Structure 1
């Protein structure tokens, strides 16, 4: 499946030149939970993503650097296994700090605006103030979050082939590469032109697309339902976690009470002690279930919700591109109508120009200012012709940008759908495995204590 010629993904981003295609040698596809390699077997549409190879990443071994100094920080070992041709070695690795991950994501968002770049974990300001960010528990949780971040990057057919991602794993002079990337970004510089100036003045938070695309409306509805389901699940499981914590404490208290009862009933002290130990063991199992299954599940739910927000932002940006085109088209129509009106007045056919109340008032103001002669009108027409030419170019560019961005967004939604399904499968599998192990161990504990309790005889 990997390495087939038809699986080469030949589109990188809507505003960047196409990357050169690479020929890959046949390679056995690695197995793993939710690992997605190609869509050639299931679909052949123009907007279906194609994977050129695999990239398996990991984040491990958090280490405190420059300990006992004011510049202390935590570094993580990032490693990868890949068959992508752009990588010089198949098993690159390097040590990176959290700020390096921040730089990577920020510039991927700038370089690939049409891609759903996964979010990073929160910075946890409270831990920064209290110093707990160097505790083993906090470092392990951040390692897991960063591991999820890189996994999402590696599953993306475009981002996995980014030069910045490759340097993140391979470069031995990462700081030099960061400065070079800032000084010489891979894409063209975004010059402030007429399209940007008009977007700033004409668009606002209340603007809406007048001709929405049904495909993206259905996508937005799907995202809404997905996020609503995640929020509901997070709320229910948070409540269940609280109830489980209460049960853990209750079983512990019950074990202490049973042990005290054993001291009072000298004839059945030993079986009551066994029962007390079983209650303590069950309380420990509940605590272990919370720490190893429920908490990771809740963390993953929250992370997946943030990932969905990033996907929503891409859909919103696509609407913004269409809105740019619609507003520029309306502005061009208005300027063209004004030019035609002035031409009709000069040619003596003012009555056929369809003067409105706005144009009439404007003419009255120009008359009061003495600017209603033909020379001033001709000069205005000359300026309007120049503006129309600029607007026509801007409308053409906006239309091409909107269409290209829409095509790329359709491809991104397919990529996000595959990534979401893979994560949901892995997340629910881990949850089910943890629950099965808990109930299996709990059943063994209770089955051992039942015969002991049944042998208890109390003389009345």
Structure 2
């Protein structure tokens, strides 16, 4: 029915959990939903160099949306955020507080700044149309927003680094959140970003659209897997939107059929009662389809789209890692060029080489120096001193860039493992909810039709 697109689009998802993967249940708390198996009891000898290391668990919940300042123009919605945790960074095992959407935005944006190598989950859009029409205070909109924010905090709680952030702790615990926000902006964690040689290079040198010259095979495979996963999610989203549309049409068709059967019952006086029962069954089945659309298919589509956005955040980290490697390659090439120029001047001063044999660029540089009157040995010595200082600066910059690139690559590999665990947990949860909703639909439908079949069989038609 769904056409050729209905193929196995989740071939990049593995469903088996690795043996002893560090997700065993914690003694003091056993979460029931997937993805929270965050244990510190795993053996270090069994943990790979890029496997996530857990220091405890964090189980979060967003609930109880309340409209604050309801009768003013500054009205907003606050949400109760709660958690259960055994992480040592928290001062209580059951922190809770009320936060508004802007607080979630601040948390997300600053986590992305503080942890650039981490896959920080995205937030839902602000839905500007609802803000214009005033529907942002409707129960339906607040519930959708609550679910989106709940999923956002779930993803942070599943991350072994983000869950231990001091900003996350303050988000759940602090009674002076606005003070924390101002302090965090004024004194962000980590070293100050200094203006180094990279910042002084031209935009042409560090072109964000340039390609890495020596790509790492590990990250090529990683990017290919991300491409396949996002393509699978997009295909599934398209197919299930089609399913939703057809289910909506069927809902209306069964309702219209029920009305028609009820009208027929008024005309056929001998079987009016049976036809009315049949009409009621059709109405019940139409209601079941509507309930499935609202409570199963729609949440599934929202979760699909959210997971696709989450994967985009993972892709952004991969792109940033490539940029770090590109910075290293460009700096290395720049250092090689400066070193070659310094060697050329040294050879000329020593009388070991002239312009010949140095290529067109060397010849043109010599001619330009001659025109400016800077072709004497004194000028060359001064230029060599400047080049020596530049070489030292570039050498330090290359060393720093190399360390940064290696560190970022290792962090990206760990992020891949963390994202894989989170992805598997969400896929299992999402597809389980979809299956449960479909099972509920067919079970209730069977009960309805089983009740009406004996009534229909009592109809006698004279031939």
Query: Contact 2:31–2:37 at 8 Å: present in 1 too?
Result: no
Q: Select which of 243, 248, 253 maps to 2:246.
A: 243
Give the C-alpha shift of residue 199 in structure 1. Answer: 7.0
Distance 2:74 2:456 in 1: 60
Tell me, yes or no, if the aligned pair for 2:36 and 2:57 is still in contact at 8 Å.
no
Q: Does 1:182 align with 2:185?
A: yes
1:34 is aligned to 35
Q: How does 1:301-312 map to 2 (within 5 A)?
A: 301-312=304-315
Which position in structure 1 is the counterpart of 2:270? 267
**Correspondence list, 1:182-331, <5 A:** 182-198=185-201, 200-331=203-334
Q: Does structure 1 retain, via aligned residues, the 8 Å contact 2:33–2:429?
A: no
- Is 1:120 equivalent to 2:144 in the alignment? no
Q: Deviations over 1:31-77 (max 9, x none)?
A: 33332314936942111111110000000000000011111000000
| Alignment deviations for residues 175-233 of structure 1 (CA, whole Å, 9 cap, x no partner) | 00111111111111111211233374412243111111111111000000000000000
CA contact (8 A) 2:36 2:59 kept: no
Structure 1 segments of 4 or more deviating over 4 A? 351-354
Partner SS state of residue 350, structure 1 = coil
Flag the 1:400–1:353 CA change in 2: closer, same or farther, 3 A: farther
Residue 95 (str. 1) matches residue 104 (str. 2):
no
State how 1:114-193 maps to structure 2 within 5 Å.
114-193=117-196
SS in 1 for 2:81: strand
What is the aligned length?
439
Q: How many angstroms apart in 2 are the aligned matches of 1:340 and 1:134?
A: 71
Q: Cα–Cα, structure 1 residues 43 and 272, in superposed 2: closer, same or farther, change >3 Å?
A: farther
Cα displacement string for residues 137-170 of structure 1 (whole angstroms, at most 9, x for unaligned residues):
0000000000000000001000000000000000
Deviation of the 1:459 alpha carbon = 2.5
Q: 1:62-114 CA deviation, whole Å, 9 max, x = no partner?
A: 00000111110000000000000111101000000000000001100010000
CA distance in 1, matches of 2:116, 2:151: 21
Q: Which consecutive unaligned segments of at least 5 residues does structure 1 have?
A: 1-5, 8-24
Cα distance in 1, alignment partners of residues 444 and 164 from structure 2: 45
Q: CA distance change for structure 1 residues 98 and 199 in 2, over 3 Å: closer, same or farther?
A: farther
Backbone CA RMSD of aligned residues: 1.8
C-alpha contact 1:251 1:282 (8 A) present in aligned 2:
yes
Specify the alignment match of 2:12 in structure 1: none
TM-score normalised according to structure 1 size: 0.93
Gaps of 5+ in 2: 1-20
